[in-house]
Amino acid sequence: MSEAKLEFLDRSRAFWNPGKTQDWQDMGVDLVIDRREGYYLFDMDGRRLIDLHLNGGTYNLGHRNPELVEALKAGSARFDMGNHHFPALARTALAEALAACAPAPNMVYTAYGSGGGEAIDIAIKTARHAKQRRKIVSIVKAYHGHTGLALKTGDDRFSKLFLSEDTLGEFVQVPFNDLNAMEDALRGRDVAAVIMETIPATYGFPMPQEGYLPNVKKLCEKYDALYIADEVQTGLMRCGELWACTKYGIEPDIMVTGKGIGGGMYPIACTCIGEHCGGWLTEDGFGHISTGGGAELGCIVAMKVLEIVQRPEVRTMVRYVSDYMRAGLDRIMTEYPDFFIGIRQHGVVMGLEFNHEQGAKPVMKNLYDNGVWAIFSTLDPRVLQFKPGLLMTQADCEEVLRRVEIGIGLARDEVMGRHRKSA
Amino acid sequence: MEPQARTLVDISGSHAALAGRADMVLERARWAAEVFQRYDRESTMAIADAVAAAAHDSAERFADWAVRETGFGVAAHKKLKNQLTSRPLVDFYRNDDYVNPRIDEARKIVEIPRPAGVILALTPSTNPIATLNYKVLISLMTRNAIVISPHPAARECSVDAARALGEAAMDAGAPDGAIQIIENPGIPLVEELMVSPKTSVILATGGTAMVRSAYSSSNPAIGVGPGNAPVFVDSTADIDKAAKRIVESKSFDNSALCTNESVLITLEDVDARLRRSFKQAKAYICDADDVDRLRRYLFHDRGFNIECIGRDAAWIAQECGIRVPDGTLVLLAPIAQIGVEEPLSREKLCPVLAYHVVKRRNQAITQARAVLRLAGAGHSAAVHAMDEQVAMAFASAVEAYRVVVNTPCTQGAAGFQTALAPTFTVGTGFYGRSSIGENIGPGHLVHWTRLAYNSDASEYFGNYRGLKPGFSGPLPEAPSDGVPGSNGYRARRAEADAGVFSGVTREELRRMIAEELRAVLRK
């Protein structure tokens, strides 16, 4: 490590976040991201990493995608954040663009947050207003963000620290893929909404069993609760369709998109609201206010993102990247059958499962040493989040697989010892 | 109210937007090309055959459409060209294998075909569909992906035709994106496509500026310059036949092919007989006044009047105010000089043939060289002579890489009444500042990796018979876990073992298949 980096890390500890800065050093990941381009990150010491973390799809289209940079630049010749009270050209234009491609025909409104958590809060507030009930059902180990209401839907890993967990019984959690538990939670008809990441990311992408999600939606209809689809990580073509919930045959009442919608260039998140549950927008349009939410520059970037991800070429490439990566990973899995034991996949949303309760951490470190950045799942560290970009080139995919094979091999030896059971 | 996707900030003309568009199309093609390399010969040819059949079936529809859209040429002739560039083209190359390795035991060399990757094909307005068919098929036969950039004047028919071929290819199992077309081919976008490192080779057919631009792109290019074919009718020729053939050639698609004869050169003692034969063959011989009118009409200060490209003789005559007999197929324009001072000695993509008489054979050769010096270097020429010494002298002197003998040049040089490779891209070679001097075919879209053994006779050479690279075919579809009907995914074992070392023995294969069967039975 360079002197410059050592000194920088001291400053990071001193002024930014001592705990987080140190934790990364303890995990053997001394990354300080400097330059970034396409799917590459360059450490401040110059080392290149291929980014398979993408901040949960924020960099779906690559870092500093030139078209998005151009849209932002050109947009700033005319727009700034805008005034959040008034009808605004860019905000309405993006809302229209979203309505035109929404996963449900009556999803006409969009309310804006400056990040995913805020947009989730808007979704929950909208549902509560529509149903005039407080209860929200989410899944165990859910993750929807760190803002007030979103935080309470998630694992107490992040809420207890701040004494912010639900204490009033308004936030109920049920195990994923358990329809009976879901029905029990809804039976009382006192639930405003079920909020569901189409594939729970921070939980390591456990995949919904066949029929689970559509049946949850049916239960919502049966017990008069709304269905909020959190498409922050699964939307925007990552699963081969614009919105992953579409693949499961679901028309949600409310949908949240974030991260990738701002292209990594301007933070923005959107809550798309079905006409039938957007009553507050008519009753009291000033009910929710966000100065930064739906900043018009963000809207300009988001419209470009939506246009790009809907190009036919992108659809093809997502297919190729997912098929190619899967074929390669299947092959690697046969090399280390005692360690690399499973792949969860839907499109370019992938989770690699290892035969050790913290298995994804040494894999992450060894991939990092081998030039690939992919992060373990906070709420299930057996699983490595493996998230290739939508536009990844064949050459980069091949490069990733080459490095992953080496990295997993090294991690396996660390965890299981050098001697191999004969397969 | 219906929601509309609107553009508030238009960046479509920016470099970023153009480069982004180009990159996306080319990267999709790169993926397709990468997967295509995994196909074996049988599936490759099945795709080529299916696409050829689709092209053949729609030959007439697209011929009519091309004439309607561009105003160039004769629909019946275009139909014929569209057909010639479909099934017969694939049949012509059917016995050439661009997929399997070639073994040369004598030289102890094994050659493995390596497709170029992504072919960027620029197609002209004069032969839009035939060129498109031809470039698509030579790309498919060699397992390349192709991105077509059509001439804007023939955009609509080209886009529709390419889509149809793309669908036929997909239906036959080709990788998605193996055939793409640029729907709005502006010059800035085409330039981005040409300079992209994702373009493997540019196959440029069209105007000089575009071809030169392809060569300046820094990417490998196979470009063809313009034609301006001289045709020499010698005293030993069968004069009647020569006239008939030349008229047949010039009137074919009204000379919209660049291989058409441009300047006829003959000898004084042949002149009178040749004129009579031409008249019989429905050519009209212009007088001095007619020639003036033609010259003024066909050539502006800016060059050739593109209004006349592919128009028929009667139409051109009428536009110039020349009265010609009904049924006239070709206008013969006697000229006294060849060179910069005589525009009629330049390329004319219409059924007007300059006609020049010389005293001696060696002067005919000098004049033919002068025609090609003016334009059309490296392209085509024709000679009508029964004396092979004359043909040899002519062919070895003129700077053309194909000299057809006693044959219509339009068809013959393009490989349609000769044994030359049938083509819509005529390599103009070094004379024409091009990289290849023969008719472009599939062979130009493949390079070969050569395994070369120690040539010492005592050194062992391996037995490569029956050995093939791992043709693993299309990528297996990755699962969409949890989506209805997706539960059946299991890693394909053959895929799992495919890779650099795909030397799976028969025994191992048998074991793997047995294992899979057991797994299925257990379920």
Q: Is B338 helix (H, G, I), strand (E, B) or coil?
A: coil
How far the first Cα of chain A sits from its last, in Å, is 39
- One domain for residues A136 and A274: yes
Residue B97 forms part of a structural domain: yes
Residue B518 forms part of a structural domain: yes
> Does pLDDT of B374 surpass 50?
yes
- One domain for residues B203 and B248: no
**Percentage of residues of chain A with pLDDT beyond 70:** 99
Determine, for residues B176 and A391 on separate chains, whether the beta-carbon distance falls below 8 Å. Answer: no
Mean pLDDT, rounded, of chain B: 91
What pLDDT score was predicted for residue B470? Answer: 83
Cβ neighbours of A179 in B, within 8 Å: none
The residues with which B404 forms a beta bridge, in sequence order, are B382
Residue B258 forms part of a structural domain: yes
The answer to whether B113 touches B69, Cβ cutoff 8 Å, is no
- One domain for residues A272 and A192: yes
The answer to whether A355 touches A341, Cβ cutoff 8 Å, is yes
Which one of A64, A67, A217, A334 would you mutate to disrupt binding with B, by most B Cβ within 10 Å of its Cβ? A67
Structure tokens at A358: 């913290």
Q: How far apart are CA A336 and CA A356, in angstroms?
A: 13
pLDDT band, very low/low/confident/very high, at B491 (cuts 50, 70, 90): low
- One domain for residues B359 and B283: yes
Determine, for residues B9 and A100 on separate chains, whether the beta-carbon distance falls below 8 Å. Answer: no
Give the chain A residue whose CA is nearest to the CA of B34: A394
Q: Which of A108, A210, A317 sits opposite B28 (nearest CB)?
A: A317
Determine, for residues B3 and A69 on separate chains, whether the beta-carbon distance falls below 8 Å. Answer: no
> Does pLDDT of B502 surpass 60?
no
What pLDDT score was predicted for residue B503? Answer: 45
Instruction: Give the containing element (helix H, strand E) for B17.
Output: helix B15-36
Residue A384 phi, psi (nearest 5): -95, 130
- One domain for residues B263 and B339: yes
Which one of A101, A205, A320 would you mutate to disrupt binding with B, by most B Cβ within 10 Å of its Cβ? A320
Residue B28 forms part of a structural domain: yes
| pLDDT tens-digit readout, A371-380 | 999 999 988 9
How far the first Cα of chain B sits from its last, in Å, is 53
- One domain for residues B284 and B139: no
**How many alpha carbons lie under 13 Å from residue A390 in its C-beta half-sphere?**
33
Q: How close B190 gets to chain A, by Cα (Å)?
A: 17
Q: What is the CATH number for A38?
A: 3.90.1150.10
Residue A102 forms part of a structural domain: yes
State how far the alpha carbon of B291 is from the alpha carbons of B184, B280, B287, B318, in Å. Answer: 40, 20, 6, 13
Q: How far apart are CA A155 and CA A266, in angstroms?
A: 28
> Of B196, B223, B250, which residue sits at a domain end?
B223
> Does pLDDT of B126 surpass 90?
no
- One domain for residues B243 and B283: yes
- One domain for residues A73 and A56: no
Structure tokens at B315: 């139409």
Q: Is B430 helix (H, G, I), strand (E, B) or coil?
A: coil
Q: Which of B27, B484, B495 sits opposite A317 (nearest CB)?
A: B27
Residue A269 forms part of a structural domain: yes
Q: Is A199 helix (H, G, I), strand (E, B) or coil?
A: coil
Q: Choosing from B157, B258, B350, B409, which is the catalytic residue?
A: B258
Residue B277 forms part of a structural domain: yes
List, in order, residues 6 or more apart from B483 with CB less than 8 Å away.
A210, A247, A248, A346
> Does pLDDT of B490 surpass 80?
no
Cβ of residue A297 closer than 8 Å to a chain B Cβ: no
Provide the H-helix boundaries in B228-360. 239-251, 268-280, 288-298, 313-320
- One domain for residues A258 and A319: no
Determine, for residues A75 and B9 on separate chains, whether the beta-carbon distance falls below 8 Å. Answer: yes
At residue A304, what is the residue type? K
Per-residue pLDDT averaged across B278-290, rounded?
Answer: 97
Q: How far apart are CA B98 and CA B289, in angstroms?
A: 56
Provide the H-helix boundaries in A86-204. 89-101, 116-131, 148-153, 156-159, 179-186
Cβ neighbours of B511 in A, within 8 Å: none
Q: How close B221 gets to chain A, by Cα (Å)?
A: 23
Q: What is the CATH number for B257?
A: 3.40.309.10
Cβ of residue B24 closer than 8 Å to a chain A Cβ: yes
Per the structure, the count of domains in chain B is 3
> Does pLDDT of B364 surpass 60?
yes
The residues with which A40 forms a beta bridge, in sequence order, are A37, A50
Question: Over the range A74-95, which residues count as b (16 or more CB within 10 Å of their CB) and which as e?
Answer: bbeeebebbebeeebebbbbbb
> Does pLDDT of B504 surpass 50?
no
What pLDDT score was predicted for residue B122? Answer: 95
State how far the alpha carbon of A132 is from the alpha carbons of A167, A192, A207, A225, in Å. Answer: 20, 7, 32, 11
- One domain for residues B285 and B139: no
Cβ of residue B362 closer than 8 Å to a chain A Cβ: no
Q: How far apart are CA A39 and CA A59, in angstroms?
A: 8
CB atoms within 10 A of CB B384: 28
Cβ of residue A152 closer than 8 Å to a chain B Cβ: no
Closest listed residue to residue A304, CA positions, set B22, B27, B8: B8
**How many alpha carbons lie under 13 Å from residue B17 in its C-beta half-sphere?**
16
Q: Supply the range of the domain harboring residue B152.
A: 23-223
Total count of residues recorded for chain B: 523
Q: How far apart are CA B137 and CA B133, in angstroms?
A: 6
DSSP assignments along A279-320, one per residue: HHHHH-TTSS--SSTT-HHHHHHHHHHHHHHTSHHHHHHHHH
Q: How close B26 gets to chain A, by Cα (Å)?
A: 9
- One domain for residues B196 and B147: yes
- One domain for residues B81 and B35: yes
- One domain for residues B94 and B159: yes
Q: Which of A96, A209, A314 sits opposite B4 (nearest CB)?
A: A96
At residue B395, what is the residue type? A
| pLDDT tens-digit readout, B300-354 | 888 889 888 899 999 999 999 999 999 999 999 999 999 999 999 999 999 999 9
| pLDDT tens-digit readout, B176-208 | 999 999 999 999 999 999 999 999 999 998 788
Residue B121 forms part of a structural domain: yes
Q: How close B382 gets to chain A, by Cα (Å)?
A: 46
Range 205-264 of A in CB contact (< 8 A) with B: 207-214, 239-240, 247-249
- One domain for residues A286 and A210: yes
- One domain for residues A232 and A198: yes
Determine, for residues A334 and B6 on separate chains, whether the beta-carbon distance falls below 8 Å. Answer: no
Residue B300 forms part of a structural domain: yes
Residue A6 forms part of a structural domain: no
> Of B189, B223, B257, which residue sits at a domain end?
B223
Q: How far apart are CA B318 and CA A109, in angstroms?
A: 64
- One domain for residues A258 and A144: yes
- One domain for residues A45 and A94: no
pLDDT band, very low/low/confident/very high, at B496 (cuts 50, 70, 90): very low
| Burial class of B327 by CB neighbour count within 10 A (0 to 12, 13 to 18, 19+) | exposed
> Of B223, B244, B279, which residue sits at a domain end?
B223
pLDDT by residue for chain A (423 residues), tens only, comes to 999 999 999 999 999 999 999 999 999 999 999 999 999 999 999 999 999 999 999 999 999 999 999 999 999 999 999 999 999 999 999 999 999 999 999 999 999 999 999 999 999 999 999 999 999 999 999 999 999 999 999 999 899 999 999 999 999 999 999 999 999 999 999 999 999 999 998 888 899 999 999 999 999 999 999 999 999 999 999 999 999 999 999 999 999 999 999 999 999 999 999 999 999 999 999 999 999 999 999 999 999 999 999 999 999 999 999 999 999 999 999 999 999 999 999 999 999 999 999 999 999 999 999 999 999 998 899 999 999 999 999 999 999 999 999 999 999 999 988 765 544
Provide the H-helix boundaries in B101-257. 128-141, 155-171, 187-195, 208-215, 239-251
> Does pLDDT of B512 surpass 80?
no
Cβ of residue B483 closer than 8 Å to a chain A Cβ: yes
Cβ of residue B20 closer than 8 Å to a chain A Cβ: yes
Determine, for residues B6 and A69 on separate chains, whether the beta-carbon distance falls below 8 Å. Answer: no
Structure tokens at A37: 């381009």
Structure tokens at B45: 């040819």
- One domain for residues B389 and B256: yes
Closest listed residue to residue A33, CA positions, set A14, A55, A18, A15: A55
Residue A281 phi, psi (nearest 5): -65, -25
Q: What is the CATH number for B132?
A: 3.40.605.10
Cα Rg of chain B (Å, integer): 27
- One domain for residues B263 and B377: yes
| pLDDT tens-digit readout, B451-471 | 999 999 999 999 999 888 889
At residue A259, what is the residue type? K
Q: How far apart are CA B425 and CA B92, in angstroms?
A: 16
Q: What is the CATH number for A104?
A: 3.40.640.10
Residue B518 phi, psi (nearest 5): -60, -40
**Percentage of residues of chain B with pLDDT beyond 90:** 79
Determine, for residues A303 and B34 on separate chains, whether the beta-carbon distance falls below 8 Å. Answer: no
Q: Is B482 helix (H, G, I), strand (E, B) or coil?
A: coil
Tell me whether residue B308 is one of the annotated catalytic residues. Answer: no
> Does pLDDT of B209 surpass 90?
no
Residue A5 forms part of a structural domain: no
- One domain for residues B185 and B301: no
Q: How far apart are CA B418 and CA A92, in angstroms?
A: 65
∠ CA B354-B355-B360, nearest 5°, is: 135
> Of A257, A276, A309, which residue sits at a domain end?
A309
The answer to whether B194 touches B162, Cβ cutoff 8 Å, is no
Determine, for residues B480 and A247 on separate chains, whether the beta-carbon distance falls below 8 Å. Answer: yes
> Of A309, A335, A364, which residue sits at a domain end?
A309
- One domain for residues A115 and A205: yes
Q: How far apart are CA B183 and CA B185, in angstroms?
A: 6
Q: Which of A108, A207, A316 sits opposite B481 (nearest CB)?
A: A207
What pLDDT score was predicted for residue B500? Answer: 41
Residue A4 forms part of a structural domain: no
With helix as H, strand as E and coil as C, how does B353-393 read?
EEEEEECCHHHHHHHHHHHHHHCCCEEEEEEECCCHHHHHH
Q: How far apart are CA B121 and CA B131, in angstroms?
A: 9
Residue A261 forms part of a structural domain: yes
Q: How far apart are CA B88 and CA B373, in angstroms?
A: 34
> Of A277, A294, A309, which residue sits at a domain end?
A309
- One domain for residues A321 and A272: no
Per the structure, the count of domains in chain A is 2
Closest listed residue to residue B449, CA positions, set B109, B174, B203: B109
Work out the angle between the directed axes of helices B75-84 and B128-141 (0-180°, nearest 10): 0
The answer to whether B422 touches B414, Cβ cutoff 8 Å, is yes
Q: Supply the range of the domain harboring residue A401.
A: 31-64+312-416
Closest listed residue to residue B270, CA positions, set B338, B388, B365, B360: B360
Residue A11 forms part of a structural domain: no
Residue A242 forms part of a structural domain: yes
- One domain for residues A108 and A50: no
The answer to whether B440 touches B203, Cβ cutoff 8 Å, is yes
Q: How close B275 gets to chain A, by Cα (Å)?
A: 58
Determine, for residues A66 and B481 on separate chains, whether the beta-carbon distance falls below 8 Å. Answer: no
Q: How far is CA B22 from the centre of its chain?
A: 22
Cβ neighbours of A391 in B, within 8 Å: 24, 27
Which one of A323, A340, A348 would you mutate to disrupt binding with B, by most B Cβ within 10 Å of its Cβ? A323
- One domain for residues A290 and A204: yes
Total count of residues recorded for chain A: 423
